[in-house]
Amino acid sequence: MQEVKQFFIRHFITAPVSFGSWLILLLGAGMNFFAATGLMIAMYLGGTFTIKQVQLSSNVKKLGMSRSEYNHIKTQIAEAKGKIKKLNSLYGQVRSVQAFKQVYEMNNLARRILSIVRSNPRKFYHVERFFYSHLDSAVELTSKYSMLVNQPLKDQELRVALQHTRETLNDVNKQLEQDLRSVLATDIEQLQLELDYVDVTMNNNKPLLQMKGDLPHDRKQNNER
């Protein structure tokens, strides 16, 4: 979402500036149409590139990362996106309801993890093995299963291989669930701290709220008087 917002900001700034400069060069300075258009394109491309670099530096500074770290994480995110797309393409190739459910769950978990890391690249370090190993295992095993299940032979050896692959896919699915827990752990801890703070604050304010008016016992005594 932030990347989309920054994309529109870049072009919202550079488009009117470039077009205005083109009009000035063409009408005010009497420059040749093609020369003015070439300068406009150069200004547009140069402006968007410069603003993009400024935005990138700002993002990196806020995250407390080096630019190389940030670029590496972005590369891993892009590669993971391609792997998830491949995993998604295997839906129609698995014929078992159990295997279909496993692929669906793995795909769903992987997309959630990727979405969280995209919104907060620092969380990449909580699930590095997801990017380096677990997602690869999910794609490779699903590809292997889809290949085996579509074979015309249905002998005992093939059935054993399919069963073993399904069991391994189940293990990978559990590992992806653990990856999702890991990437959410800090958010859950932060939420719990905020809830504890609210509870403490409300409990501390209760005596103050009661002191603003007479207590029921005091009101009863005043009425008797």
Highest mean pLDDT, choosing among 14-18, 75-79, 167-171, 200-204: 75-79
Provide the domain limits for residue 30: 1-64
User: What percent of the chain has pLDDT above 90?
Assistant: 23
Q: Are residues 167 and 100 in the same domain?
A: yes
Last residue within a domain, chosen from 64, 86, 101:
64
SS (H, E, C) 73-116: HHHHHHHHHHHHHHHHHCHHHCCCHHHHHHHHHHHHHHHHHHHH
Q: Are residues 94 and 161 in the same domain?
A: yes
Asked whether 155 and 145 are in contact (CB, 8 A), the reply is: no
> What confidence category does residue 207 fall into, taking pLDDT thresholds of 50, 70 and 90?
low
Q: Are residues 56 and 73 in the same domain?
A: no
Last residue within a domain, chosen from 64, 83, 116:
64
Distance of CA 165 to the CA centre of its chain: 29
CA distance 38 to 27: 15
Q: Are residues 47 and 105 in the same domain?
A: no
Q: Are residues 54 and 20 in the same domain?
A: yes
pLDDT for res 10:
77
In sequence order, what are the residues at sequence separation of 6 or more whose Cβ sits closer than 8 angstroms to the Cβ of residue 57? Answer: 67
Does the pLDDT value for residue 83 go beyond 90? yes
Last residue within a domain, chosen from 24, 45, 64:
64
Specify burial of residue 204 (Cβ count, 10 A radius: 0-12, 13-18, 19+).
Answer: exposed
> What confidence category does residue 198 fall into, taking pLDDT thresholds of 50, 70 and 90?
low
Q: Are residues 5 and 109 in the same domain?
A: no
Q: Are residues 88 and 193 in the same domain?
A: yes
What radius of gyration do the chain's Cα atoms show? 30
Q: Are residues 44 and 70 in the same domain?
A: no
**Considering its fold, how many domains does the chain have in total?**
2
What confidence tens digit (pLDDT) does each residue in 98-141 have?
A: 778 888 899 999 999 999 998 888 899 999 999 999 999 999 99
Mean pLDDT along residues 153-182: 86
Does the pLDDT value for residue 217 go beyond 70? no
What confidence tens digit (pLDDT) does each residue in 131-157 have?
A: 999 999 999 999 888 888 877 777 788
What are the angstrom distances between the C-alpha of 164 and each of 82, 95, 136, 151, 224?
Answer: 26, 16, 18, 16, 83
Residue 225 resides in a domain: no
Q: Are residues 182 and 95 in the same domain?
A: yes
**Structure tokens belonging to residue 165:** 């692959």
